[in-house]
Structure 1
Amino acid sequence: MFALGRIASLAATSSTRRAPAAIRSLSTLHPTLYTSTTTSTGSRAQGHVSTPEKNLDLTMGMPKELGGSKGPAGGESNPEQLFGAAYSTCFLSALGATHGSLFPQHKPLPKSTTVRALVSIGKDKTEKLPGFLLAVELEVPKKPLQQVGLEEAEIHKLVQQAHQLCPYSRAVQGNIEVVVRVVDA
C-alpha cells in the first residue's frame, strides 16, 4: 500500500494514483483568503486539539493498533481521522466546483454526493525512510453523479479533474500515495 511511483489509469481501473513529482515548486498565496488557527496540547496519545472559536474541541488518543488503550469508539480522535475529514471535505468541494465548470448543463451535485477517505499510517515498504508514512484512498460513489445525468466517462473525467483542483491533493502530491476510486456503492 505504501509503494510509491506507481500510476494507474483512471479510465482503465476506476482509480488514479499520483506518483512522486519529479520537480516540486513552492507556491505562494497572494492574497491569503483565510487562515485557520488550531492549537494542540499534550501528545498524540493523550492530547487535546481546539480552535479559538471552540467549534473544534477534541480529545486526542492513540488507536489500539498503534498501542493505545482505546479505539475510536472510546470517544478519542486521532490525526488520521482529522486529515481524512479535511481531505474528503475539500475533495467534495472540488467535485462540486469542477462539476459546475465542466457540466453547466447538468443540475448541481445532490446533497447525497459523498467522498470517503481512508487514511492509513505505516512504515516505508523499502525501509529507506524513517518514522511513519501516510497513504490515502478516496472513494467517490457514482450513483449520486449518475442522478444528475453524468455518464461513466464523464464521472471519471470529473473525479480526475477534481483531484487536480483539490488543494489537499496538490499539497500531498509527490509526498504520499493517494488513490482515488469511483465506486459503485
Structure 2
Amino acid sequence: MAIRPILQYPHQALKSTNAAVAPSDPAVQAVVQDMLDTLAASPGVALAAPQIGHAVQVIVVDVSRKKGERGHGLVVLLNPVILSLEGKKSVREGCLSVPDYTGNVLRYEEALVEGLTPEGRVVTVSASGFGALAFQHEVDHLNGMLFLDRIESLSTDLFRRKK
C-alpha cells in the first residue's frame, strides 16, 4: 500500500486510546499493509497503528530486525492484550515517535500477549527479553502511553540520542 509518516511527539494522536478492530474489515487490512510498509522503511523493530495516524488497535513487531535478536519473526496482532508479565527490570528504551531521546523505564522480561491475526485467528505469543519489551511498548501505544510516561525522573532517566 504505502509508507506513512511516523507521527512525532507531542502529536495528540499518540496520547489517545484506540478502537478495537474486526479482521474482516477491509480498512483494517489496508492499515496492516501500511504498517508493514512503514516498518520495513524505518529503523525500528515495531510499530503501533496510532503512530501512523490510525486510531485502531493494531501492532506489528519484528525484533529479528535488530542485530543479534531472534524473536518470533514478524508478528501482526489486532486487539492485543497482555495476559501476564514477569521479571521486572530497568531497560533503556527509545521510540520512533520520540526519535531524539531514549530513557530508562521499568519493563518486564517476559510477556504473554494474546490477539487476533489479520485472518481472525486467536493467537498467544510468549516473548522474552527484547521481544517482551517491544510488545509492552506497542500495547502502551494503543492505550495512549509513550515510554516518556513510564520514566521516573526526566532529569536523570531521559537521554538525548547520539547522532
TM-score (norm 2): 0.25
Structure ranking higher in strand proportion:
2
Find the structure with the greater CA-based Rg: 1
